[in-house]
Structure 1
Amino acid sequence: MDLRKITDDFTVSPQIEASDIPAIVAAGFRSILCNRPDGEEVTQCCFDDVSEAAANAGLEVRSVPITSGVVTPDDLKAFNAALDEMPRPVLAYCRSGTRCTMLWTIAQYGQVEPEEILTLTGQAGYDMSGILRQLSQS
């Protein structure tokens, strides 16, 4: 498991497995947010397996699946609702963590200074400069 902290309340990760849930609980997470659709890869752990293990461990779980490279206004609304409603800290996962970080960046744009977004996401290993450039032009 490769946990990449963005803020104290939001961490991203590449794909997790149901077997990772005890370590996620031990790390202090209270919620898991899946941003990956089932079936992107043949060997990918399905959301239902993660969800069942997480719920059995007392975590809140939600799925807001995002097709890679395509974020609709409804997707962003569902992502924001999940962050607003889920107990923190939240662990969000997708294939590599990039999608989750991109969604967080879009959600924070206008509330957090772009330089701080770049610093926080960069420390986690993600370059969101392209997304921020696109947002500033819209």
Structure 2
Amino acid sequence: MKHTDVSETFAVSAQLESGDMQQIAEAGFSTVICNRPDGEEPGQPTVSAVREAAEAAGIAFHHIPVSGGEFPEVAIKAFAKVREEADGKVLAFCRTGTRSITFDALANIENATADERIGRARRAGYDLTSLRARLGE
């Protein structure tokens, strides 16, 4: 299970498998957020299978799927709520990690500036400069 730390309490990852959940728990993550809809591509594990494995490993599991580059306000608020209420480290995943890091930037639970959020994403290996206008100041 490879992930990229974004902050002390948040990390992103490409697609996770059910078999990754015990290792994720051992790495100190208490919450996993899946940002992929079911059936996005062949061979992708089902959300229910990953949820079952996460819960068996003692990890809280949340499904906040988005696709097509759309990040509706209701989904951003749901993501922010999970991050704010999580008891420990949060790992969010999607196909490549880009949707998950985008959610983090849009939710902005740390009240960081747009430049700080873009810089944090860049350090994690993601380019969010195209979101600058949506991120505000």
Q: State the TM-score, normalizing by the size of structure 2.
A: 0.92
Structure-2 separation of matches of 1:116 and 1:135: 10
> Which residue of structure 1 aligns with residue 63 of structure 2?
63
Misfit runs of 4+, over 4 Å: none
Name the Cα RMSD after superposition: 1.7
Q: Which residue of 1 aligns with 2:46?
A: 46
- Mapped to 1, the partners of 2:34 and 2:99 lie a distance apart of 10
User: CA 1:8–1:68 in structure 2 vs 1: closer, same or farther (change >3 Å)?
Assistant: farther
1:91–1:110 distance in 2 versus 1, CA, 3 Å? closer
CA distance in 2, matches of 1:110, 1:30: 19
- The residue type equivalent to 1:67 in the other structure is S
Query: Match for residue 104 of structure 1?
Result: 104
- TM-score scaled to structure 1, two decimals? 0.91
**Structure 1 unaligned runs (5+)?**
none
SS of 1:30's partner is strand
Give CA deviations for 1:14-41 in whole Å, capped at 9, x if unaligned. 0000011121112111110111111100
Tell me how far apart the structure 2 counterparts of residues 80 and 6 of structure 1 sit (CA, whole Å): 15
Q: How many angstroms apart in 2 are the aligned matches of 1:104 and 1:56?
A: 26
Aligned-partner Cα distance in 1 for 2:90–2:115: 23
Distance 1:27 1:133, change over 3 A: same
- SS state of the match for residue 95, structure 1? coil
- The structure-2 alpha-carbon separation of the partners of 1:23 and 1:109, relative to structure 1 and needing over 3 Å to count, comes to closer
Answer yes or no: is the 8 Å Cα contact 1:60–1:87 preserved in 2. no
Deviation of residue 136 (structure 1)? 3.1
Q: CA deviation at 1:135?
A: 3.2
